[in-house]
Chain A
C-alpha cells in the first residue's frame, strides 16, 4: 500500500468521523427543537384562555365560561393522598429489599423474585392498574354485596369513610399508588444502594441493630435520592389520566371534593375530555388546561432539583 493510498484511507475515515459527529449533533438538537415546538404550540393555542376565572371556574358546556377549578382540586387531593399512601409503602419495601438481604438460599430466592416482580410491574400499562383498582377498591370484589355500604360518618363529615370505597378520591389515590409504587421502590432501592457500605459496617461495629442502622445511617444518607425519585413519581401520578378514567369515568364536576369519599375528576382527564371534542374553542381551553398542568409539573420538578442540590453532600 502506498503512502498516497494510506492518506486517502485516513482522510476517508476522518471524514466519516466528522460526518457522524454532525449527524449526532443534529439528532441531539432535534430533541431540543421538538420540545420547543411542543411547548410553543401549546402556549400559542392556550395562553389567551388563562385567567383567574379559568383557574377557579367550573367546567361548562360553553368553552368561554369553562374553568379548571374542580379538576385541579381533584388532582391535588388525589395526588397528596396517593403520596401519603405510597411513600411509606414504597420506602418500606425498598428498605426491606436492600437492607435486609437474607443469606440463606430459600429466602434469597424469594427476595430475588419480589425484586424481579417489582421491575416487571413497572412495565404494566397504567390502564390495567385502573381496571384492577375498579374491582379491588371501588367494588372490593363485590364482598360487601350491593346493599347499603358500611359507613363512618355522613357524607357531610370530612372524615366520612365507607366500604366499599366506590368511585371516590381514596379509590383514585389507591389507583395512582399502584401505578407509581414500582417507580418509588426502584428509585429508593437505587438511592439506598448508593450509600457506602462502610457507613453501615461502622454502625454495626458499634453494636447497632439492623433497624438502627437503617433509621440512623442508611435512610438519612439516601434521603435526597429517595425524595427526588418520589417527586418524579408524583409528577408521573399527577399526569396520569388512563387509570383514573377506568375507576372514575369522565365526570362533569361542579364542586371540588371535601372528603376522601367524594366524587372527583382530575385535570388530565378534563383535558382529555376537551381535546377529544371537535370544536376549536374546546381545543383552546384544553391547551389552557395543559398549561396549568405543566406549571404544576415544572414546580414539582423544580422542588426535586432544589432538594437534590440542598441535600447533596459528600458521604466519604
Chain B
C-alpha cells in the first residue's frame, strides 16, 4: 500500500533529522492528547445514557411526589407508583377526576406493536430466507434496494400512508364483508349490525399497526438474513448430502440453527415498534382506551408524550410531568427488549466465529 511506503519514507527521514529526541517526546505527548480526545468522544455516549436516566427519573419522582390538591386547600394528593402501573383509566385531561393509570396506554402500545409484529415477523422472516437461500443475484439486486428504501422512509410518511391508504382500505373491506351474504348472516346472528358497517373506525390500532409493521419489515428481514447467512456451510452441505431438498435444508436445518439470531431480530423490531411515535400519533387516534380490539382507536405511550408536547397541558403540572413518567416506563420497556436482543446476537456471533 502507498500509505505504508509513505510512512516508511517519513520514518527514515525522521531518523536522519537532528533533534530526534525532542520529536519523540512531542510525538508521545501528541499521542496521549489524541487518545484522551478520542476516549472523550466514546465516553460522551455514556454521559448521554446517564443524562437520560437522570432526567427521566428526576421528573418522574416529581410526578410521584405529593402536591397540594387545587380543590381542597390543605389536603395533599399523590399518585403512587402502584396506582400508576395498575390503574385502568388514563384521563389526565378529561373531566374533574383525573386518573393516571398507565395500563390503557400500555395496552394501546402493545396492541399496535402486536399488529406490527404479525405483519413484520412472518413476512420479514420469509423474505430473509428467500434472500439468503433462494434469490438469484439479479432478484437480490432489485429486492435489497427496495427494502433499503422502505427502511429509509420517514415514520411520518408511514403515518400519512396509514391514514390515507391503509385505514380507508380496511374500512372498505369491512363494508364489503358486512355487506356480503356470510357477513350479513354473521351480523344478524350476533345482533351486532343490520346494515353494512365499515367495522374499523377512522382512527384505529390496526391501520397504524400495519404501517408500523411495514416499517419494521426491513429490520426483521436484514437481521434474520444476516443470521441465516452466518450458519456454517458444513451444516447445509451435510443436509444436502443426506438428500434434503432446498426446503428441507433451509426450513429444517438452517433456520433452526439460526434461531437465536432470528429471535434477536424479532426483539429488536418489536422494540422499534414500541418506540415508534409519529405514525401512531397520526393514525391510531388519541383516546386512551383499554381494549384488545384493533378496530378501535387507542393511544400509545409515545402518542401521549406527543400530545403533551403539542401543548395540550401547562408546563410543570402533573399532566406535563406524567409524560416523563410514561417516557421512563417506555424507556425501561425498550431497553429491556434491546438488551436481551443484543445479548442474544452477541452470544450467537461468538458461537459461529
Residues of chain A at the chain B interface (Cβ within 8 Å): 13-14, 16-17, 20-21, 23-25, 27-28, 30-32, 34-35, 37-38, 41-42, 45, 88-90, 92-93, 95-97, 100, 113-114, 116-132, 135-136, 178, 181-182, 185, 199, 202-203, 206-212, 216-217, 220, 232, 235-236, 238-242, 245-246, 249-250, 268-269, 271-272, 275-276, 283, 286-287, 290, 293-294, 297, 301, 315
Does A116 lie within 8 Å of B45, measured CB to CB?
Answer: no
Does B156 lie within 8 Å of A271, measured CB to CB?
Answer: yes
Does A123 lie within 8 Å of B4, measured CB to CB?
Answer: no
Q: List B residues 71-105 near A (Cβ within 8 Å).
A: none
Does B45 lie within 8 Å of A250, measured CB to CB?
Answer: no
Q: Which residues of A contact B276 (CB under 8 A)?
A: 125
Minimal beta-carbon separation of B283 from chain A (angstroms): 9
**Is B254 at the interface (CB under 8 A from chain A)?**
no
Stretch at the interface among B46-54, B175-183, B185-193, B230-238: B46-54
Does B282 lie within 8 Å of A272, measured CB to CB?
Answer: yes
Which chain B residue has the least Cβ–Cβ distance from A201? B4
Minimal beta-carbon separation of A148 from chain B (angstroms): 20
Q: Which residues of B contact A130 (CB under 8 A)?
A: 309
Minimal beta-carbon separation of B118 from chain A (angstroms): 14
Does A294 lie within 8 Å of B157, measured CB to CB?
Answer: yes
In the bound complex, CA of A88 to CA of B156 (Å)? 29
Which residue of B152, B159, B334 contacts A125 across the interface (Cβ within 8 Å)?
B334
Query: Given known contacts A32-B142, A126-B275, A245-B306, is B153 in contact with A239 (CB within 8 Å)?
Result: yes
Minimal beta-carbon separation of B188 from chain A (angstroms): 34
Given contacts A20-B247, A119-B338, 14 further A-B contacts (CB under 8 A): A34-B150, A100-B39, A117-B45, A117-B46, A122-B338, A123-B275, A124-B275, A132-B55, A135-B55, A182-B45, A206-B8, A272-B156, A275-B163, A301-B149
Minimal beta-carbon separation of A239 from chain B (angstroms): 3
B interface: dominant SS: helix
Residue from A113, A206, A238, A297 with most neighbouring chain B CB atoms (10 Å) = A206
**Is B348 at the interface (CB under 8 A from chain A)?**
no
**Is B337 at the interface (CB under 8 A from chain A)?**
yes
Q: Which residues of B contact A287 (CB under 8 A)?
A: 160, 164
Would you give the 0/1 interface string for B23-39, flagging 1 where the beta carbon is closer than 8 Å to chain A?
00001001100110111
Q: Which residues of B contact A207 (CB under 8 A)?
A: 7, 11
Does B306 lie within 8 Å of A127, measured CB to CB?
Answer: yes
Which residue of A123, A202, A212, A268 contacts B156 across the interface (Cβ within 8 Å)?
A268
Query: Given known contacts A128-B327, A199-B1, is B246 in contact with A123 (CB within 8 Å)?
Result: no
Does A117 lie within 8 Å of B49, measured CB to CB?
Answer: yes
Does B130 lie within 8 Å of A114, measured CB to CB?
Answer: no
**A-B pairs with the 6 shortest C-beta distances?**
A239-B154, A125-B275, A123-B338, A92-B41, A96-B38, A24-B130
Does A209 lie within 8 Å of B31, measured CB to CB?
Answer: yes
Stretch at the interface among B61-69, B266-274, B288-296: B266-274
Which chain B residue has the least Cβ–Cβ distance from A97? B42
Query: Given known contacts A41-B164, A100-B35, is B123 in contact with A30 (CB within 8 Å)?
Result: yes
Q: Which residues of B contact A293 (CB under 8 A)?
A: 154, 157
Does A17 lie within 8 Å of B247, measured CB to CB?
Answer: yes
- Number of A-B residue pairs, CB cutoff 8 Å, is 273
Which residue of A96, A127, A202 contacts B42 across the interface (Cβ within 8 Å)?
A96
**Is B217 at the interface (CB under 8 A from chain A)?**
yes
Would you give the 0/1 interface string for B228-254, flagging 1 where the beta carbon is closer than 8 Å to chain A?
000000000000000001111001000
Q: Which residues of A contact B172 (CB under 8 A)?
A: none
Does A119 lie within 8 Å of B38, measured CB to CB?
Answer: no
Does A216 lie within 8 Å of B338, measured CB to CB?
Answer: no
Which chain B residue has the least Cβ–Cβ distance from A181? B45
In the bound complex, CA of A126 to CA of B278 (Å)? 10
**Is B258 at the interface (CB under 8 A from chain A)?**
no
Residues of chain B at the chain A interface (Cβ within 8 Å): 1, 3-4, 6-8, 11, 27, 30-31, 34-35, 37-46, 48-49, 51-52, 55-56, 59, 123, 126-127, 129-131, 134-135, 139, 142-143, 146-150, 152-157, 159-161, 163-165, 214, 217, 221, 245-248, 251, 268, 271-272, 274-278, 281-282, 302, 305-306, 309-311, 323-324, 327, 330-331, 334-335, 337-339, 341-342
Which chain B residue has the least Cβ–Cβ distance from A205? B4
Q: Which residues of B contact A120 (CB under 8 A)?
A: 49, 335, 338-339, 342
Does A268 lie within 8 Å of B134, measured CB to CB?
Answer: no
Minimal beta-carbon separation of B75 from chain A (angstroms): 29
Does B38 lie within 8 Å of A242, measured CB to CB?
Answer: no
Q: Which residues of A contact B3 (CB under 8 A)?
A: 199, 203, 216-217, 220
Query: Given known contacts A132-B51, A275-B282, is B342 in contact with A124 (CB within 8 Å)?
Result: no
Q: Which residues of B contact A272 (CB under 8 A)?
A: 156, 159, 278, 281-282
Query: Given known contacts A31-B150, A185-B45, A272-B282, is B156 in contact with A125 (CB within 8 Å)?
Result: no
Q: Which residues of B contact A123 (CB under 8 A)?
A: 268, 271-272, 275, 334-335, 337-338, 341-342
Which residue of B31, B52, B130, B306 contacts A25 across the interface (Cβ within 8 Å)?
B130
Q: Which residues of B contact A118 (CB under 8 A)?
A: 45
Does B52 lie within 8 Å of A242, measured CB to CB?
Answer: no
In the bound complex, CA of A310 to CA of B341 (Å)? 35
Q: Which residues of B contact A13 (CB under 8 A)?
A: 245, 247-248
Which chain A residue has the least Cβ–Cβ distance from B15? A207
Query: Given known contacts A124-B331, A125-B277, A216-B6, is B152 in contact with A297 (CB within 8 Å)?
Result: yes
In the bound complex, CA of A276 to CA of B321 (Å)? 25
